[in-house]
């Protein structure tokens, strides 16, 4: 059974139709890369999947359960539950500048523990200690243990992005989404972030990666989706898409 299933997703802003019926599915542990020219709707698709935007039409299923269907009311509790299924890593890292690296990673899980244990101080204290241990493990995983007490402004772009990845993992999302995770980085810092993503693939994390790094997409993806003008214009394995593009649009895109 597919871990994620997207059906007929539509989204418009005012009169501009940005997504015009997107369908795809992902198995557990699969990596899909989304490529396509600027304005084709890649970010909007990720934002709809993460519920940072609400699609106008369509359905989203996780493990066979419908978690979103247009026309059905969404309570804020349900919205929070749905958001927890997905993690998002943004182009510009979006770390909280006033918090240290460790605090950035612990913040969201701590808020959840606070909500969950309300006045049970003993449980809360225990939970926070677990969250701290998990955050340290995540920092080790992205190779930044020695930066735990630094502030984001004291880190390179590549280091900041690795913290952002650890932060996204801290809530144990089922599916991790990346929106051009290396496009704000100098070329020499790109490799360290791509390496972390390679490591996640090896540990079976399901991922959706919007990227302009074609070689990386080819290497790391099980499937590539080419978006054009709000639709999926072509979809297939890396070699199907990159070595044998069928549509004129993709051929032109790959030449650029
Ligand atoms: N909040 C919004 N309000 C109005 N229009 C929007 C909004 N978000 C996106 N758009 C429009 O939707 C279209 C698709 O934008 P989107 O950011 O999804 O493209 P993209 O494929 O991610 O492009 P890029 O490669 O430049 O990041 C664009 O025309 C954009 O101007
Ligand atoms: Mg974008």
What ranges do the domains of the chain cover?
96-172
Mean pLDDT of 164-169: 97
Give the ligand at the shortest distance from the Cα of 44: 1
Q: Measured between alpha carbons, how far is residue 188 from residues 157, 184, 193, 194, 199 in Å?
A: 10, 12, 10, 11, 19
45 CA to centre of ligand 2 in angstroms: 9
- pLDDT over threshold 90, residue 80: no
Strands (E), 64-142: 65-69, 86-89
pLDDT at 116 over 90: no
The C-alpha angle with vertex 180 and arms to 103 and 112, in degrees rounded to 5, equals: 30
Residues lining ligand 1, judged by CB closer than 6 Å?
13, 16, 18, 36, 38-44
Dist. CA 239–CA 19, nearest whole Å: 26
Is residue 170 exposed (0-12), middle (13-18) or buried (19+ Cβ within 10 Å)? buried
Structure confidence by residue, pLDDT tens digits, 216-227: 999 999 999 999
**The pLDDT of residue 74:** 85
Ligand 2 centroid–CA 214 distance in Å is: 16
Residue nearest to atom 30 of ligand 1 (CA): 39
Helix, strand, coil in percent for the chain, rounding step 5: 45, 25, 30
Per-residue pLDDT of 128-148, as tens digits, reads: 999 999 999 999 999 999 999
Beta bridge partners of 60: 6, 68
| Ligand 1, atom nearest to 40 Cα | 21
Q: Kindly state the average pLDDT of the residues 188-196.
A: 93
What is the phi/psi pair of residue 235, to 5°?
A: -150, 140
Q: Please choose from 22, 39, 52, 184 the residue to mutate so as to test ligand 1's pocket, defined by most ligand atoms within 8 A of CB.
A: 39
Of 105, 193, 188, 83, residue with least CA distance to 150: 105
Across the chain, what does the average pLDDT equal? 95
């Amino acid at each position: 059974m597919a871990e994620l299933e997207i059906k007929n997703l539509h989204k418009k802003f005012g009169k501009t139709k940005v997504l015009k019926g997107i369908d795809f599915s992902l198995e557990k542990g699969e990596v899909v890369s989304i490529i396509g020219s600027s304005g084709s709707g890649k970010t909007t698709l990720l934002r709809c999947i993460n519920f940072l935007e609400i699609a106008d039409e369509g359905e989203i299923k996780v493990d066979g359960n419908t978690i979103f269907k247009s026309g059905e009311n969404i309570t804020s509790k349900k919205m929070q539950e749905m958001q927890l299924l997905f993690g998002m890593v943004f182009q510009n890292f979006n770390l909280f500048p006033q918090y240290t690296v460790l605090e950035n990673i612990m913040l969201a899980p701590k808020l959840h523990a606070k909500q969950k244990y309300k006045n049970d101080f003993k449980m809360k204290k225990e939970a926070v200690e677990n969250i701290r241990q998990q955050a340290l493990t995540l920092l080790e995983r992205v190779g930044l243990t020695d930066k735990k007490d630094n502030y984001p402004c004291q880190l390179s772009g590549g280091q900041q992005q690795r913290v952002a990845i650890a932060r996204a993992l801290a809530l144990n999302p089922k599916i991790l989404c990346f929106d051009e995770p290396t496009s704000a980085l100098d070329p020499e810092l790109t490799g360290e972030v791509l390496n972390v993503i390679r490591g996640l693939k090896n540990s079976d994390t399901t991922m959706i990666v919007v990227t302009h790094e074609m070689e990386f997409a080819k290497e790391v993806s099980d499937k590539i989706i080419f978006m054009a003008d709000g639709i999926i214009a072509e979809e297939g394995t890396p070699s199907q898409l990159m070595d044998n593009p069928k549509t004129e649009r993709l051929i032109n895109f790959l030449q650029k």
